[in-house]
């Protein structure tokens, strides 16, 4: 596969994904990704994106409960 940004070669790796939002920072280690050997851009498949979005939705919901309890 080729990188959509620089046409470099994509290779499968496991990386850390960081989300900074709504007053918290979440780091997920060991996430499967396609990473460009030339520019370092990371791309995720649909299954991985869905799993990350599910985690963020759950953290948002729990944070909301915490705010209400305070």
CATH number of 10-69: 3.10.20
Domain boundary assignment for the chain:
10-69
Distance, CA of 25 to CA of 21 (rounded, Å): 6
The answer to whether the beta carbons of residues 51 and 21 sit under 8 Å apart is no
Which residues are 31's β-sheet partners?
Answer: 15
The structure tokens 């370092």 sit at 40
Q: What is the tens place of the pLDDT at every residue in 15-41? A: 999 999 878 899 999 999 999 999 999
- Output the pLDDT for position 63: 87
Residue 68 has pLDDT above 90, yes or no: no
């Amino acid at each position: 596969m080729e990188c959509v940004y620089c046409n470099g070669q994509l290779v499968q790796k496991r990386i850390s994904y960081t989300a900074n939002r709504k007053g918290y920072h979440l780091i997920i280690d060991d996430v499967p990704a396609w990473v460009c050997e030339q520019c370092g851009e990371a791309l995720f498949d649909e299954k991985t994106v869905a799993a990350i979005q599910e985690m963020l939705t759950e953290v948002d919901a729990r944070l909301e409960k915490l705010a209400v309890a305070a």
